[in-house]
Homo-oligomer: A and B are copies of this chain.
Amino acid sequence: MESSLSYKDKKVISIGVVSELTGLSERQIRYYEERKLIFPERPKGGSRKYSFADVELLMDIANKIEDGVQTHEIKKEMSRKKKTEDEQSIRKKMIQGQINAQFGLRK
């Protein structure tokens, strides 16, 4: 149940390629990081590394910006969504706990 970090989540893409993939300028990409919307890895040397998931997220962000949504609002939306996901994750764990308690192996 580790969902072993697939290729989609490996941070290996440099900003130049991300710029091509998303159509965003490097300036924009760095700015969204400054606003805490995106979190690239920073290996030795200081360069930024992004995942494909980051690229998708950046495209979502770009769409919202185009719709006039401010970075601050986008950040709030993101934390709302994350909260929902976390809660669902907890619910799933609790239900699984119940199942294990009722039907699981006992030593």
Listed in ascending order, the chain A residues whose CB lies under 8 Å from chain B are: 7-8, 10, 12-14, 17, 21, 49, 52
5 extra interface residue pairs, beta carbon distance < 8 Å, beyond A7-B8, A7-B52, A12-B21: A10-B52, A12-B12, A12-B13, A12-B17, A13-B13
Bound: A12/B10 CA distance, A: 12
Bound: A7/B9 CA distance, A: 10
User: How many copies of the shown chain assemble into the complex?
Assistant: 2
Task: Let me know if B7 and A49 touch, CB within 8 A.
Answer: no
- Which residues in B have their C-beta under 8 angstroms from that of A8? 7
> Smallest CB–CB gap between A106 and chain B, Å?
42
Bound: A17/B41 CA distance, A: 12
10 A-B residue pairs with CB within 8 Å: A7-B7, A7-B8, A7-B52, A10-B52, A12-B12, A12-B17, A12-B21, A13-B13, A14-B14, A17-B49
- Which residues in B have their C-beta under 8 angstroms from that of A49? 17
